[in-house]
Amino acid sequence: MTPKVSLESIQPHGIMVISKEGLVAQGLGLPSHPSKLIVIPKYLMTKEETPWKRNNLFFNRIISEYGPRGLQKATEKTKDLTGRCYSDLFQSYLPCLDVNDIVLFSEPKETLSNLIKKPELDIEVDLVLICDYLRERGMPMGNIGVTGSIALKFANSKISDIDLVIYGSESAQKILQIFMEMQGNYINMKDDFGGLKIQPPINTEWRRTLFLGKRFVSWIGVPNKPLKHCPKMVKDRPPSKRCKVKVKIESDQRSSLLYPPCVEARNGTNEVLIISFEYNVAKMFFEGGTFEMEGICSKDNEVIYLATREFPGTIIKIKN
């Protein structure tokens, strides 16, 4: 189905769609035009047999990694299948789809509710087990949604992850705690996130782990409306110039756990706002510390943007 409401009134992050051209894309948590959805291209319908199948239709995965580099590559592969919407925050055009070109539309919360009522595939049964596990540990089910291939019913039960969308900072902090308690099942140290370089390398198990030894589960936190958690980020302060700064981030800022991670920091005697379009920095920002960063600053030097397509940047943690 197509959206029945203006895209401006909902959180677009995690929405899964299939276009008339056979493009499968995921909504990105940035402000959208009322009738256009900014997306990450993820799969293309194909006649060749692939691991991802819905009824008699096959899908080929076209994005190999996330972050600025992965989005750029996927955008180039699908440039004839999407429109272009200008983002004030990115200072560039991003792929988008008009609602009239969408033939299938999956909203994360509604999709989760439907799947757990009548699970059919093995991966959907695992989804029910995961939701039961989270509920027993205090996660409110009304703040959980599901995205990715499972949302559009073409997941492969042998290899597909279960991707959760968590709404609100309190629930994001809760699921972070739950995943931290499960740590040790899967260690994945990384220092490059689509072009954003991080030192020392970080373990991403806090948001993607092996659940009960059998299924990878990941999550991302989002506000109920795009950028609601970051009110100081306004349109007249877009990225402007490269900069290098040393900042102190105080711990326990829940806004770091929502996309895009957004925290207040201090650069010497100056207060600055740090915004990352790469979500994997969320836990590191939540824990706080002293960092050296290279990114793009606003003209007034009061906002630092990381993981932009123009310059992904670097983060070096100096001390806790």
What pLDDT is attached to residue 42? 95
Assign 72 a pLDDT band (cuts: 50, 70, 90). Answer: confident
Region 267-275: mean pLDDT is 93
Mean pLDDT, the chain, integer: 90
Query: Above pLDDT 70, what percent of the chain?
Result: 94
Residue 10 clears pLDDT 60, i.e. is over it: yes
**What are the residues whose beta carbons fall under 8 Å from the beta carbon of 235, sequence distance 6 or more?**
88, 89
In this predicted model, which residue has the larger pLDDT, 33 or 243?
Answer: 243
> What is the per-residue pLDDT across 145-187, written as a single tens digit (0 to 9) for each?
999 999 999 999 999 999 999 999 999 999 999 999 987 767 7
The CATH code for residues 108-222 is 3.30.460
Place of tokens 């990694």: 65
Residue 255 clears pLDDT 60, i.e. is over it: yes
Q: Where are the domains of the chain?
A: 7-106, 108-222, 241-319
Residue 318 clears pLDDT 90, i.e. is over it: yes
* 95: preceding bond cis by omega (within 30 degrees): no
What pLDDT is attached to residue 2? 45
Classified by CATH at the fold level, domain 241-319 comes out as OB fold (Dihydrolipoamide Acetyltransferase, E2P) (2.40.50)
> What is the per-residue pLDDT across 194-250, written as a single tens digit (0 to 9) for each?
899 999 999 999 999 998 788 999 999 999 888 788 877 655 566 688 999 999 999
Tokens (6 digits) for 26: 């995921």
Residue 319 clears pLDDT 50, i.e. is over it: yes
304 close to 243: Cβ distance less than 8 angstroms: yes
| Highest mean pLDDT out of 70-84, 96-110, 164-178, 231-245 | 164-178
Dihedral (CA of 5, 8, 11, 12) sign: positive
In this predicted model, which residue has the larger pLDDT, 238 or 300?
Answer: 300
Region 52-65: mean pLDDT is 91
Assign 30 a pLDDT band (cuts: 50, 70, 90). Answer: confident
